[in-house]
Structure 1
Amino acid sequence: MQPTYIPWMGYFDLIRSSDKFVFLDDVKLEKSSWHVRNRIRGAHGEIMLSQVVATPEGRMSSRINTTEFKPGNPWRRKHLKAIAMSYAKTPYYKAYYSELEHYILNGSHNLAEFNIGLIKLLMNLLKIDTPTIRMSELGDIPGAKDVRLRNLCLHLGANVYLSPAGARDYIEQEIPGGEIAKAGVEVRYQHFEHPVYQQAYQPFISHLGVIDALFNLGQENTLAALKEGGK
């Protein structure tokens, strides 16, 4: 999966359900995508938090692992202010905010390194210990779409590939399981049903960044909700 900003609960269910998780960090940056933004729950509805990146070579030439944040832009402090205002009254705000604050203020200026580091921090808070690998550190894995995923599986010696449901269209564009299955690797699709839980404000909004669940539920209940949604 591409290393997105404050991913939603389903992203962490995919990590939790895997023996190895690969960050697809060497692909093209989609500037107006989850690569650089995500949502939290404020008093008056959802709030979109967007990182500010520099693309001197143009968006079409930028990759996640070579993209840097725009120097001098105060997005980090703005995001922390929004998070504090939104979650200060939640049951687990004091348990998690200071660690999150420290990371956001001091994390890397590189987009991939920052997002991967934040995901690993959230994994640690959730007590998810799945080993992770960066695609950019594996050398040249050739191909595109399901061909590249097939080559990745073969490189790592995988016999099962667990895919987000949204990738089915390009994996199975030609045949069931695509090139991955043709190589003898079983393809399974994640089926995650987003749980409903008590938020600080009503009505409930789903598919927010996972910190919404952490602040409202704490580690044990968030992990239990992940497991329940992933059944």
Structure 2
Amino acid sequence: MTTVHQLYFLPWMGYFSKLAFSNNFVVLDDVDFRKRHFYDRVKIIDTSGNSRFVSLPTGQNLGIKCNKIFIKDSNLTERRKILRTLKDSYSKALYYDKEWPALSLILEKALMSSNELVKINLGLIIDLLDYLDIDPPNILLSSHLNLTHKNATEMLICILKKLEDNELLLGDGKSTEIHDLEKIESNGIGVYLQEFKTTYPIYEQSRRRQKGFKPFMSVVDCILNVGRGKTREFIHSVHFQPKRYYYNGNKY
């Protein structure tokens, strides 16, 4: 089973759950960078219990491919600020004392070792999979696959054929609206859907005991609030086992 996705910065649990159920992960590193998306930012819970973005300084980069994006932070000031913000925001979390020392090393290693956005994001994802004791899928970069396609749907078909895989995993976001699922299936590729957003696991967030649970935060939020063991259970839960969807004429 193959997942095809852009690289996000410190992504949410659903992102890691898709990878946990995939054999291949094709990184779309040669697509256009999109500002105000999740390539360079992610939501966390701050010291006031509100959700907020922490962002890498990348600039606008209109029409620039993701693998050509560099962090605009030559003295590392903004990256150190991200580490301080995470530390302060989760200092009261139940598992902060247990998880932060190792987690902060993972964050610092990726953030400080490169100025390339793709390398930072991929390094974080690989090291977090290891930290969560999740077997990583086979990771490939789309820029290395010599793809030939006219649109996003043909790109997926081309990728699956190159990998000789006939199972494509999509999340319960906008993928089913963007892609021509009938065309994908007509090429002998089975479409699997993972429903994570609609059945998001709820856990206690230390800063939101009075305000109630806030979903879709970085996976770091879950690790520091309930620990990496419980986070792994959420990600690997059979509840999120991808399900085969069949085309019935107009929808799945």
Tell me whether 1:16 sits opposite 2:20 in the alignment. Answer: yes
**Does structure 2 conserve the Cα–Cα contact (< 8 Å) formed by 1:54 and 1:70?**
yes
Alpha-carbon displacement from aligned partner over 1:75-127 (angstroms, at most 9, x marks no partner): 21111111000112323324333323422442310111111111111111111
Secondary structure in 2 aligned to 1:201?
helix
How far off is 1:171 after superposition? 1.5
- Counterpart of 2:151 in structure 1 is 144
**Does structure 2 conserve the Cα–Cα contact (< 8 Å) formed by 1:51 and 1:69?**
yes
- Counterpart of 1:75 in structure 2 is 78
Structure 1 residues 141 and 122 mapped into 2: Cα distance closer, same or farther (>3 Å)?
Answer: farther
How far off is 1:140 after superposition? 3.2
> Which amino acid is 2:94 matched to?
P
- Counterpart of 1:221 in structure 2 is 230
Q: Pairwise CA RMSD of aligned residues?
A: 1.7
**Does structure 2 conserve the Cα–Cα contact (< 8 Å) formed by 1:76 and 1:104?**
no
Q: How many residues align?
A: 224
> Which amino acid is 1:126 matched to?
L
Pairing of 1:52-91 with structure 2 (within 5 A): 52-54=57-59, 58-59=61-62, 61-72=63-74, 74-91=77-94
Please identify, of 130-139 and 181-190, the stretch whose mean Cα deviation from structure 2 is larger.
Answer: 130-139
Secondary structure in 1 aligned to 2:177?
helix
**Does structure 1 conserve the Cα–Cα contact (< 8 Å) formed by 2:107 and 2:124?**
no
Tell me whether 1:171 sits opposite 2:173 in the alignment. Answer: no
How far off is 1:42 after superposition? 1.6
What is the TM-score when the length of structure 1 is the normalising length?
0.90
> Which amino acid is 1:151 matched to?
C
Alpha-carbon displacement from aligned partner over 1:23-78 (angstroms, at most 9, x marks no partner): 111100001111111011123211210111145xx41x211111111143622111
Structure 1, gaps ≥5 residues long: none
Tell me whether 1:118 sits opposite 2:124 in the alignment. Answer: yes
- Counterpart of 1:190 in structure 2 is 194
Structure 2, gaps ≥5 residues long: 242-252
How far off is 1:131 after superposition? 2.2
- 1:207 pairs, out of 209, 216, 231, with 216
What is the TM-score when the length of structure 2 is the normalising length?
0.83
> Which amino acid is 2:152 matched to?
K
> Which amino acid is 1:62 matched to?
I
**Does structure 2 conserve the Cα–Cα contact (< 8 Å) formed by 1:146 and 1:178?**
no
> Which amino acid is 2:158 matched to?
N
- Identity, in percent, stands at 27
Q: Distance in 2 between matches of 1:214 and 1:28?
A: 31
Alpha-carbon displacement from aligned partner over 1:172-212 (angstroms, at most 9, x marks no partner): 3xxxx233212101111111121100111222111000000
Structure 1 residues 15 and 77 mapped into 2: Cα distance closer, same or farther (>3 Å)?
Answer: same
Tell me whether 1:157 sits opposite 2:157 in the alignment. Answer: no
> Which amino acid is 2:105 matched to?
E
Q: Distance in 2 between matches of 1:91 and 1:100?
A: 20
